[in-house]
Amino acid sequence: MRTRLSIVALATAVTLTAIGCGSDINSSPSVTATTAVAAPTAAPTPAAPHDAKTVLAALTAAKVGLSGGAVQSEDTDPNDLLGRPNGYLSRASADMPGGDRDGDKYGIERGLVIEVFPTAADADRRSKFIQDTLKSMQILGTEYHYRAGGGAVLVRVSGKVKPSVAKKVQAAVATL
């Protein structure tokens, strides 16, 4: 009985070794294949993501009427969403013709806000939340929403801005 168990154990060990190393003596070990896949030259470098500062600079260069542009930090973000779970990665704001220059500093009522999210789905949720809130509480006003950066960049324009000016922003966002 003891001999039979030893034979079964030996056979199992040989089988596992053969599976782990490959049964063909000429095949290359799997470790070599893994090492080759992990080589730095094999992986393409992803494109740099948009950030709010870059989008603000592009929209300013497009001459859509922005002034007083500012990039928000943790200390100046009026929504306290910057860098937080379910929040945005970066945020910027600017004044626009038609916006309320007496509105809250960095607020949408002044004209324009740029919010950059980790994914397009995150930007979708934020846009939907804002639009649903504005529809249910019409006293809060309206906003135009435009998307860039594969959808992860949400450009918000105050509804106080004239439609002709908002269309210029829309055209500029489409080129990003």
Give the separation between CA 121 and CA 76, rounded to whole angstroms: 25
Report pTM.
0.71
Residue indicated by tokens 């870059």: 54
Domain membership of residue 45 (yes or no) is: no
Is 68 in the same domain as 31?
no
Residues 70 and 106: beta-carbon distance below 8 Å: yes
Position with higher pLDDT, 50 vs 2:
50
The pLDDT score that the predictor gives to residue 149 is 84
**Region label for 9, one of left (φ > 0), alpha (ψ between -120 and 50) or beta (otherwise):** alpha
Tell which wins on pLDDT, 75 or 32.
75
**Cβ neighbour number for residue 26 with a 10 Å cutoff:** 5
Looking at residue 160, the DSSP 8-state letter turns out to be: T
Q: Is 107 left (phi over 0), alpha (psi -120 to 50) or beta?
A: beta
Statement to judge: residues 101 and 21 lie in one domain: no
What 8-state DSSP symbol labels residue 48?
P
Instruction: Assess whether 110 and 147 both reside in one domain.
Output: yes
| Dihedral of alpha carbons 53, 88, 155, 50, sign | positive
Structure confidence at residue 49 (pLDDT): 53
AA letter at 67: S
165 in a structural domain: yes
What's the first-to-final CA gap in the chain, in angstroms?
76
Model confidence at 150: pLDDT above 80: yes
Q: Considering only residues 8 and 139, tell me which one the structure prediction assigns the higher pLDDT.
A: 139
Give the range of the structural domain holding residue 72, as residue numbers without chain letter: 52-174
For residue 68, pLDDT over 90 is answered with yes
Residue 19: the pLDDT is 35
Question: DSSP H helical segments within the chain, as ranges?
Answer: 2-21, 30-37, 52-61, 120-136, 163-174
The predicted structure's pLDDT at residue 44: 39
Helix or strand or coil: residue 128? helix
**Residue 171: predicted pLDDT:** 94
Looking at the structure, tell me whether residues 156 and 97 fall in a common domain: yes
